[in-house]
Structure 1
């Protein structure tokens, strides 16, 4: 089982780094800690962490146990297409405040980018977890 971490209150240059062994577990299951809240992220394709071709385009399922989450969230990750080439409205500028950054790139997405940098993340019609 792996571990992914993101805390929006940490300065950009002093972010907590999770080791590569935690980011690449034997099975594609990760415990996440995003802004102090825990969740579970997993993929039903067992070869996700062993076959680089599978890691190009895949779905992850996310549960955080929070009462506001009524059903699983299925998130599609596309590592072939960079996030900044998809949606100009979601690009972060130096003039954005913390609230605008969170709306453009929710903390869970930023957590996922610690494992799959610059990937495109599709919430498949679900409201992103902020």
Structure 2
């Protein structure tokens, strides 16, 4: 089973696109969720089949501010995150999750590392 820790990716949902047929196939957004509906959708889309990255700069992103849902509803996030772990499983051990967080931090903070990895794997910068 795919892990509910998929959230470590921090994909901004504003910059993610998918085919309508796949969206309908996986059942769309779970409207019973208030906070983790995009993570739940991404998990189901990932289970449905492989994804692709569009080369080039991000097409969308978001800003975290004091009134953002992300900043104000931590209790809701924790409840729904636990629900997704129960629903999809948690295949990552805590030390693996910590490693992913470190790698993600390196990826986010060190543009030169990201550019080297892009070049190494043949992606456009």
TM-score, normalised to structure 2's length? 0.24
Higher relative contact order (CA 8 A, sep 6+): 2
* Greater helix fraction, Structure 1 or Structure 2: 2
Larger Rg: 2
* Greater strand fraction, Structure 1 or Structure 2: 1
